[in-house]
Structure 1
């Protein structure tokens, strides 16, 4: 399976990509193609999507596609990259010394679930394509690793502040808890195991805080105060 270089993101298997456009007009055209590609992929699926359909949807000349992308695989990766950025960076701040950690975890879980619901069709396609293309299997792995690393940092910060069990392995806990949330989101929004957002958020948050021993430590800190 291919692994990407952490320095520049270039696939280790030698796959080439176009350089980002250097003009504002070029950036707008590329963005229009990515937006159009998302609509076509969601409508037709990955295998049946055609480059001609993408350029028609974008209102660009067929030949202009290759100014910005080398292939259908590359533009699909660009669509997924935009989705990853949205899902990885919800508008939830880190836990400060005065924040209620349970409320912050709940806000993060809710933001992730809402983002997953908006992007469920693409998440379904990523699972399908990753099963037949190692490049996208690698992308899925990298995406999951990014989420896990972010959550591990948050867990370590809580441990340093005395708000989470210091004996819990932050990296392993982040892996397990991140997989729990992501798989629950997949079952709910892709497989159709319908659940109420409030119930999902409350349940996943309770599992998070119980696993990290947060409620007891927050209560003890409040008692001391």
Structure 2
């Protein structure tokens, strides 16, 4: 990692440029010369911060992970309403997923052939699962979620449902029934209701 402010800016510019090139050309066709050209720097500068294409792609994915892990929620009028908070959280995640959809598709492709990126994908998924498990445990503590459900198991199932649906809608198109496009409000509403029903929120059927 760079130790000077200028180095931090240069590395950040390379990561931004790499994202543009990866999203435009795909992982396999992306070239380092295109990345340095996009960043406006020499090829030698690239090797000051990254050893190869794999490293800069991992850096791009890390920035996307941060964006999706902490996307920033809209203000919730009643922060004591767990359903409203859950809905806002799902909306923030799905909006961030849509924003990073091209990278999510590339990560899936590369993870199928590269063990290192398969590990990165797994670690990313586990981070979301663990965070959501802590949230479910807190809801149980507040007598909002079913106390008999194991938080980690519930999180793994529900997080998988949301992320797989997001992939199907925003990346592969597999979830587009009959070619129709999902409205974001519809998607947020359906997934939030399924999540709340699975955890047996009070007043939910």
TM-score range (shorter-chain normalised) is over 0.9
| Deviation at residue 47 of structure 1 after TM alignment | 0.6
Number of aligned residues: 197
Residue of structure 2 in register with 1:198 after alignment: 185
| Deviation at residue 90 of structure 1 after TM alignment | 2.5
Secondary structure, aligned partner of 1:216: coil
Residue of structure 1 in register with 2:38 after alignment: 57
Structure 1 distance, partners of 2:189, 2:79, is 22
Equivalent runs, 1:45-194 vs 2, <5 Å: 45-92=26-73, 99-192=80-173, 193=176, 194=181
Query: Deviations along 1:101-120, whole A, 9 cap, x unmatched?
Result: 00000001001111111111
Structure 1 distance, partners of 2:152, 2:145, is 14
Q: Once superposed, which parts of structure 1, at least 4 consecutive aligned residues long, lie more than 3 Å away?
A: none
Contact map agreement 2:79 2:85 (CA 8 A) in 1: no
Residue of structure 1 in register with 2:5 after alignment: 24
Structure 1 residue runs of 5 or longer lacking an equivalent are: 1-19, 220-225
Report the TM-score when normalising by structure 1.
0.84
Structure 2 residue runs of 5 or longer lacking an equivalent are: none
Q: Superposition RMSD on alpha carbons, in Å? A: 1.7
Structure 1 distance, partners of 2:79, 2:106, is 41
